[in-house]
A and B are shown apart, each in its own frame.
Chain A
Amino acid sequence: MPSARGEQGSEGLEAGVWVPATPGSGKGAARAGESRALVSEDPQADSSISPLPHLEAKIHQTHSLARLLTKYAEQLLQEYVQHQGDPFGLPGFSPPRLPVAGLSAPAPGHAGLPAAERLQLDAGALSALPPLLDVVRRHQAELNPRALRLLRRLEDAARQARALGAAVEAVLAALGAETRGPRPEPAVAAAAAAAAATDAGVFPAKVLGLRVCGLYREWVSRTEGDLGQLVPGGPA
């Protein structure tokens, strides 16, 4: 069922947002691939400036990005549900939260971990999400080839997750914590598992897509929360 909602804000993040001044602003966008370079180059390029304000700014910017993506992730989930037909989207329809290969849900004890460790988990999940979102998009391209907005949102979400993951790793690097770096193997494995799940049937693929979109929302939201604790003036 086509959505009547507008596509607010999505265009601004089509190629991944690095430093949005305010939520919803598309200005200052950079390619996802470029964002990582910015992260690595920033400390050297601005070595004359005290690193503390730089870190605060980076945390603040990454937090803003996460907050924006949380909103987009919610919109993606709604859009996804709308295109899967009933009973998806009906109240009470809650498929079991089956584990997704290569991507775990945020653990209940996540909040009790140290900040750096939480961010490392966030970064890991965000790096695993793009291939899963790609699998979902490919499946939806066959199932709902005319749902162009959903397909674009899924495509955007993969880029945005990648960008946010890179930003979090940049924060970790700025914090001096160890970054795990790119982990292609788990991501590829997750994608392969997801692709296998979609081959099992359309319904499992729909459920998998719902699960992936839900995990994307959870991890982006969790990242926003974790970064929010690092933002000066935020919750301790």
Chain B
Amino acid sequence: MMNISLRLRRPPWMVDSNGRRMTSHFQWLSLTFILLYLMNQVNSEKRGAPRDLKCITNNLRVWDCSWKAPSAAGHGTVYEICIENRSHSCYQSEKTNTKIPALLPGDHEITINRLYDFGNPISKFTLNEKNVSLIPDTPEILNLSADFSTSTIHLKWNDRGSVFPHQLTVIWEIKILRKENMEIVKLITHNTTVNGKDTVHHWSWTSDMPLECAIHSVGIRCYVDDPHFSGRKEWSDWSPLKNISWSPDSQTKVFPQDKVILVGSDITFCCVTQEKVLSAQIGQTNCPLIHLDGENVAIKIHNISVSANSGTNVVFTTEDNIFGTVIFVGYPPDIPQKVNCETYDLKEIVCTWNPGRPTALVGPRNTSYTLFEFSGKYVRFKRVEAPTNESYQLFFQMRPNQEIYNFTLSARNPLGRSESTILINITEKVYPRIPTSIKVKDINSTAVMLSWHLPGNFAKIKLLCQIEINKTNSVQELRNVTIKGVENSSYLVAVDKLNPYTIYTFRIRCSTETFWKWSKWSNEKKYLTTEAIPSKGPDTWREWSSDGKNLIIYWKPLPINEANGKILSYNVSCSLDEETQSLSEIPDPQHKAELQLDKNDYIISVVAKNSVGSSPPSKIASMEIPNDDLKVEQAVGMGNGILLTWNYDPNMTCDYVIKWCNSSRSEPCLMDWKKVPSNSTEAVIESDQFRPGVRYSFFLYGCRNEGYQLLRSIIGYIEELAPIVAPNFTVEDTSADSILVKWEDIPVEELRGFLRGYLFYFEKGERDTSKIRGLESGRSDIKVKNITDLSQKTLRIADLQGKTSYHLVLRAYTDGGMGPEKSMFVVTKENSVGLIIAILIPVAVAVIVGVVTSILCYRKREWIKETFYPDIPNPENCKALQFQKSVCEGNSALKTLEMNPCTPNNVEVLETRSAVPKIEDTEIISPIAERPEESSDAEAENHVVVSYCPPVIEEETPNPGADEAGGASQVVYIDIQSMYQPQAKPEEEQENDPVGGAGYKPQMHLPVTSTVDDLAAEDDLDKAAGYRPQANVNTWNLVSPDSPRSTDSNSEIVSFGSPCSINSRQFLIPPKDEDSPKSSGGGWSFTNFFQNKPND
């Protein structure tokens, strides 16, 4: 049963390793085995023979078989064990076990009998390898050590492989126990192979808890996995445990101490102490305590975060003290990035790199770098506390005759290492240092020798250097030179094609022919090249003085690139017919000379001199080649210059000259000149002196045999501007419908451009009420005349209204814009034709009416006489009408009642034909015509006096009102300007009119001037207070077509009443006679006439 149980206790891995294919065999074998066992048991029991043969092996070479002795067997029994199916080999043993060589697979009959005990039966067993158990010997730990700093246990044991007959696999199981209560914290298996010899195996294990925190024990056992062995294979026994313990001193400690771990790790801290720990914290975070043996405690931190430079503090607090440790949490070094190796001088290689991700570890925990070269040489990076992400660099001394370098840069810190490699040909990675000690030496005026120092040993390579040449107001020039490297670091290069007497600034940088990097630019070196003779003569021009006696020679200073030095003086000479005469030497900076010459054609020469020599002469003829065909042209520039063009003339053999001056300047006119090649046909004239709005004169000269001929004369502007003044204009003539305006030219200085025309605006408007506003806004009431004929200086504006104020505006314009405006208000004269027409028409009408009326009256005179003027009895016979003179002059009221023997002196009957038209004329008299002096003349002719006064009254003063009326009976033509609309008098005046209020009133009252009338009325007030007509004058049919109230008007009454006899007390002209000619124009006025005219 033991065998069975052992087989059934085979470890699960055995089953797994054999596979499922063994399952059916296993069942069959088990049944067979059980049957055999039971049979053997029965036989043994019957005979009292050895029984329960059991064999095991620990090395596969020898089987250790044991059996149970029968109860009868005593001490000293010797057993003989024979293996039958071999060559009958038998073994004797005094014990109940014996070792036999391992048998071949298959059944073997084993007999065991007790020697010398013949009564007992022989026990027979059938032994098969399958019945044998393979149980290795218990392994022994050779050594168990611990590295407390890393919390690592190192285990060492011997596999005793020599005992096994052949190579096979051994499985080791190791268990780690912790604390005194032997908690299994780790159980691992470890496979090895034994190959017939003893081998010592090592195994290490790192604890998650510092080994100092608790006792750690280690045990080991093994299992031999021989696939050829068909018997049972069992684990060996566990080896005796071995302990790792830390003997604490008296001082309390916290573990691990100052450890460096990776960010995100899990870590356990413990405090080994004799005191009771109250709390534990990491940083400012409290942690739950894990109790270990004794008072020792631990805390476990998961996923720890990165530390500050000074680490993360872990603190355990006891009753009276605190204990702590510092943990440094960071990263392993990143792969060095941007590794670059180059040399400055081919003596030393400098490798730079970027550390990449920060490790968060500083000080002694910082990353250390080592630069290895393939040859085995290496340099270490000395620890510096460089700021994060700053480049690191290492210097490596070059080896002689080695150009190819294979570098490996290794980075290492407590958390790991990384590396980066680079392979370079150092001759292609030369980054020269800054060239220094730049020196310049003269070769000649156009070449210098440039030397500099470039540290390094470049003897084996060629250098490519770049020389930057700068000169004032010139484009920078770069020249590349390839020079062979030297050992002494001194280099020399000639720089030619320079300009004499020019300040140059040199600077140099170098690289190698196999370009890698330019060095930095050296410092600048300024140098002035030496002088040379001036390369050209000065640019020369000449002008005759205004009096034509002196020739003024002008020349321009030579530009620095032609002067080739400092010009000291100019030599002026003139020649005539091969005879040259040096006139004077003009020191610089004078640039003109005045020569008194006759009108011969001299050739003037000007030579510039510097310290080295004289320039070639510049020659110019003193006289001009005449040109009669010349006219002044106009041109406008482009804002900064002006373009002049001309036709190509092959006769012109030397340069054209364009001179220009300000037009308003006095002679000689020269501001500047410019020479252009003879093959040119255009030139752009530019000058800083040009100003917009200023008129310049340009003269183009052609040149033949050093003689100049004026080809064109041009006036122009660089840029036209608007005039700054308005043209002065005056009104020359004014009529009723037109105005004649005349203006003056604007001075050229104020015109500021070519005059293109005038704009004349006019509109109706008074000075105070009308203003031209928004002339350009297109107002319909403003009329504009654009005068582009510049010769026109006058303008007549027609179709105006008479007696109207007009606002006139005149402004000039150029292509630069509109000038300011000048305005004026003008009033047109009165329309005289209209006035005449207005007068003539009513007069004609009145004449016609008068003639017709006269004719009618003449033809009907008898009827009229009978009707209106019947024979009147002789009043002389009537005493009642005899009025006393005194009485007549007394109270009129009394006179009417008294029948005085006042006899009318006479009665005149108006029968003359001319009287009527005269009266008619009065109707169109202007009521305001105050011409009293004229009225006296007309009175005699026109006034028809109807007097009712008795003869005694002949002495009385004639009624002034009548005089006035007679005076007013004229048509007076007055100036329109002084004409006013007649104004009706207020009614109050009429009511207060003393004439109307008392005394005698004739039935026909002619208009009189109110003032005179008033005075006369006052004077005659008492005189007139005599007779009054009984009829109310208001009821008279007074005809005044335009003035219905004319009957009330004291001064404007124009009446055609019928004379009434005061005796008959009736109207002399009956009311029915309304068909008689009436006034046809009393209310007509010139003003109305004009007002009716359209306002255009």
Contacts and interface: CB of A to CB of B under 8 A. Distances in A.
Partners in one complex: yes
Contact of B325 (A1, A93, A95, A201): A201
Contacts of B283: 85-87
B313 A87 contact: yes
A142 B314 CA distance: 19
B258 A201 contact: yes
A146 interface: yes
B313 A84 contact: yes
Interface string B324-355: 11100000000000000000000000000000
- Most A-side CB within 10 Å, residue of B312, B314, B320, B322: B322
A201 B257 contact: yes
A162 interface: no
With most chain A CB atoms within 10 A of its CB, the pick from B307, B311, B320, B387 is B311
Contacts of A142: 363-364
B324 A203 contact: yes
A144 B364 CA distance: 11
B385 interface: yes
A142 B363 CA distance: 5
Interface in A204-219: 206-207
A101 to B, nearest CB: 15
Contacts of A202: 257-258, 310-311, 325-326
A142 B321 CA distance: 26
A44 B311 CA distance: 54
B315 interface: yes
A95 to B, nearest CB: 5
Contact of A203 (B254, B284, B362, B363): B254
A201 B281 CA distance: 18
B460 to A, nearest CB: 43
A85 to B, nearest CB: 5
Interface in B988-1040: none
Nearest to A142: B363
Given A83-B310, A86-B283, A146 B362 contact: yes
B308 interface: yes
Interface string A61-95: 00000000000000000000001111110100101
Size range of the interface on A?
20 to 34
Contacts of B323: 203
Interface string B895-937: 0000000000000000000000000000000000000000000
Interface in A128-152: 141-147
A93 to B, nearest CB: 8
Contact of A85 (B310, B364, B387): B310
Contact of B385 (A88, A145, A207): A145
A96 interface: yes
A141 to B, nearest CB: 8
Nearest to A94: B322
Nearest to A96: B321
Given A83-B310, A87-B283, A142-B363, A201 B320 contact: no
Contacts of A1: 308
Which residue of A85, A95, A145, A203 has the most chain B CB atoms within 10 A of its CB atom?
A203
A147 B309 contact: yes
A77 to B, nearest CB: 16
Contacts of B311: 85, 143, 202
A196 B310 CA distance: 19
Contacts of B364: 142
A109 to B, nearest CB: 24
Contact of B312 (A85, A90, A147): A85
B309 A203 contact: no
B787 to A, nearest CB: 82
Interface string B384-396: 0101000000000
Nearest to B307: A85
B980 to A, nearest CB: 98
Nearest to A82: B310
Given A145-B363, A145-B385, A206-B326, A84 B310 contact: yes
A203 B313 CA distance: 7
Most buried by A among B307, B309, B323, B362: B309
Interface in B214-255: 254
11 contacts: A1-B308, A84-B310, A84-B313, A85-B311, A90-B284, A144-B310, A144-B362, A146-B309, A202-B326, A203-B324, A206-B310
- 9 smallest beta-carbon distances between A and B, as pairs: A202-B326, A145-B385, A203-B324, A142-B363, A86-B284, A86-B283, A202-B258, A201-B257, A203-B326
Given A87-B315, A141-B363, 18 more contacts: A83-B310, A84-B313, A85-B307, A85-B308, A90-B284, A93-B322, A95-B322, A96-B321, A96-B322, A145-B309, A145-B362, A202-B310, A202-B311, A203-B258, A203-B324, A203-B325, A203-B326, A206-B313
